[in-house]
C-alpha cells in the first residue's frame, strides 16, 4: 500500500502541474481527484492494519469491521470526488476556455496506463483476500483512469477541432463522473451490507452446510448463519444429532464439526456450533447429509 500511495501522490502532482502549464483545467481537476487516492490509500491501509489485530477482551469478535468501515469511507470518497469533478466541469463549460496544449495528451496517456495497472493489481489482491476495502480502492484507481481517459478524449477533440471544441474535455469529464458515481454507490452498498451482517452468498452457505452435514454423527444441519467480518467469516450453525446421544458424545461431535470447518479452505475465523436432538433418529441418515436447506426444522 505504501507504493500505491506514493505513486498516487506523484501522479497527482504531475497532473496538476501539467494541467496548469498546459492550460487544461480538466487535467487540473483530474489531478485534484487523484489526490483523493492518497487519502483513500491511507484509509485502506489503516483499516487493514486494524482488522488484522487479534481478538481481545474489549473486542471478542476481533477487529474485522475496521476493514469494512474503511471500504465504506473510500466509497464515500469516490462518490465525493465524482460530484466535485462534475461541479467543476459544469463551471468550466459555462466559462470561455483556452485551448489546451497538445503535449498534455502524453501525460494523460502515461497516467491511464499506470492507473489501469494499479487497478488490476489491487483488484486481483482484493478478490484473493475477499477484501471490500481493497476492491473499493481498486475501483478508485479505475475511476481515476476513466477521468483521465475522458480528459484525453476531450483534449484530443479540442486540439483537432480548434477553439470551437475547446470545452470538449469538460463534457467528457462530466460523462465520466456518472461512471465514477455509479461505482462508488455499488461499492458503498456492498460495504453497508457487510456492516449490517448481510447473509453470505447462498453458494457459500450451501458449502458450509455440506462440510458440516457430511461429518459422521450429524443427522442434519438445521440452521446455518454465515456473515462476513473484515477478511474472514463468522458462522453460527445448528446441527442435529441422534436424540439418544450422550452429552459427552454430542460435545465431541460439535467440536469435530467446528474443527472440520476451521480446517477447510474457507476463510473462517470463528464457528459456534449448537447441538440439537433429531426429531426422529434414523441411523441411515447419519453422515448422509443433503445440502438442501428447504427441509423444515424439527421442533
CATH at residue 225 = 3.30.70.1350
Asked if 129 and 231 sit in the same domain, the reply is no
Of 195, 212, 239, the one marking the end of a domain is 195
Chain CA centroid to CA 194, Å: 10
Asked if 184 and 266 sit in the same domain, the reply is no
Q: Is residue 298 part of a domain?
A: no
Asked if 184 and 222 sit in the same domain, the reply is no
Asked if 166 and 223 sit in the same domain, the reply is no
Name the least confident of 1-5, 201-205, 295-299: 295-299
Q: Is residue 233 part of a domain?
A: yes
Whole-number Cα distances in Å, 273 to 176, 228, 258, 297, 298:
49, 17, 7, 16, 17
Q: Is residue 125 part of a domain?
A: yes
What does the DSSP assignment read for 77-90?
HHHHHHHHHHHHHH
Residues 140 and 213: their CA atoms lie apart, in Å, by 41
Instruction: Print the domain residue range for 86.
Output: 2-195
Asked if 167 and 236 sit in the same domain, the reply is no
Asked if 169 and 254 sit in the same domain, the reply is no
Give the pLDDT score at 173: 72
Q: Residues 148-176: what's their mean pLDDT?
A: 79
Give the pLDDT score at 113: 92
Give the pLDDT score at 293: 45
* The total number of structural domains that make up the chain: 2
Of 136, 160, 195, the one marking the end of a domain is 195
Asked if 146 and 166 sit in the same domain, the reply is yes
Give the pLDDT score at 192: 87
Asked if 10 and 158 sit in the same domain, the reply is yes
Name the least confident of 88-97, 138-147, 152-161: 88-97
Residues 30 and 145: their CA atoms lie apart, in Å, by 9
pTM: 0.61
Asked if 106 and 216 sit in the same domain, the reply is no
| Residues 45-103: tens digit of each pLDDT | 787 788 778 878 888 777 878 878 888 888 888 788 788 878 877 887 777 667 778 88
Of 195, 221, 244, the one marking the end of a domain is 195
Give which of 143, 130, 141 is closest to 38, Cα–Cα.
141
Residues 62 and 34: their CA atoms lie apart, in Å, by 33
Q: Is residue 293 part of a domain?
A: no
Give the pLDDT score at 87: 84
| Residues 180-193: tens digit of each pLDDT | 788 788 878 888 88
Q: Is residue 290 part of a domain?
A: no
Asked if 214 and 270 sit in the same domain, the reply is yes
Asked if 30 and 150 sit in the same domain, the reply is yes
Residue 36 has pLDDT above 60, yes or no: yes
| Residues 221-254: tens digit of each pLDDT | 988 999 887 778 889 999 999 988 898 998 999 9
SS3 of the chain: helix, strand, coil, percent, to 5? 65, 10, 25
Q: Residues 130-145: what's their mean pLDDT?
A: 79
Asked if 23 and 96 sit in the same domain, the reply is yes
In the block, residue with C-alpha cell 489531478: 31
Amino acid at each position: 500500500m505504501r507504493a500505491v500511495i506514493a505513486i498516487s501522490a506523484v501522479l497527482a502532482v504531475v497532473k496538476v502541474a501539467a494541467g496548469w502549464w498546459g492550460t487544461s483545467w480538466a487535467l487540473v481537476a483530474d489531478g485534484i481527484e487523484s489526490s483523493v487516492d492518497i487519502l483513500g490509500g491511507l484509509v485502506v491501509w489503516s483499516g487493514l492494519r486494524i482488522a488484522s489485530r487479534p481478538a481481545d477482551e474489549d473486542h471478542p469478535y476481533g477487529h474485522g469491521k475496521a476493514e469494512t468501515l474503511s471500504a465504506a469511507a473510500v466509497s464515500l470518497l469516490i462518490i465525493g470526488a465524482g460530484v466535485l469533478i462534475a461541479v467543476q466541469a459544469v463551471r468550466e463549460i459555462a466559462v470561455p476556455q483556452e485551448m489546451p496544449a497538445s503535449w498534455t495528451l502524453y501525460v494523460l496517456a502515461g497516467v491511464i496506463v499506470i492507473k489501469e495497472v494499479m487497478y488490476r493489481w489491487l483488484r486481483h489482491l482484493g478478490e484473493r483476500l475477499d477484501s471490500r476495502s481493497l476492491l473499493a480502492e481498486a475501483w478508485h484507481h479505475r475511476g481515476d483512469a476513466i477521468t483521465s481517459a475522458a480528459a484525453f478524449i476531450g483534449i484530443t477533440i479540442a486540439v483537432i477541432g480548434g477553439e470551437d471544441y475547446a470545452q470538449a474535455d469538460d463534457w467528457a469529464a462530466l460523462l465520466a463522473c456518472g461512471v465514477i458515481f455509479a461505482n462508488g454507490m455499488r461499492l458503498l452498498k456492498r460495504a453497508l451490507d457487510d456492516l449490517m451482517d448481510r447473509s453470505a452468498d447462498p453458494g457459500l452457505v450451501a458449502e458450509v452446510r455440506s462440510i458440516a452435514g457430511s461429518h459422521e454423527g450429524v443427522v442434519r444441519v438445521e440452521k446455518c448463519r454465515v456473515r462476513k467480518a473484515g477478511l474472514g467469516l463468522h458462522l453460527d450453525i445448528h446441527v442435529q444429532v441422534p436424540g439418544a446421544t450422550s452429552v459427552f458424545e454430542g460435545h465431541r461431535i460439535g467440536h469435530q464439526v467446528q474443527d472440520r470447518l476451521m480446517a477447510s479452505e474457507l476463510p473462517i475465523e470463528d464457528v459456534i456450533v449448537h447441538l440439537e436432538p433429531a426429531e426422529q433418529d434414523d441411523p441411515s441418515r447419519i453422515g448422509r447429509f443433503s445440502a438442501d436447506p428447504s427441509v423444515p426444522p424439527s421442533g
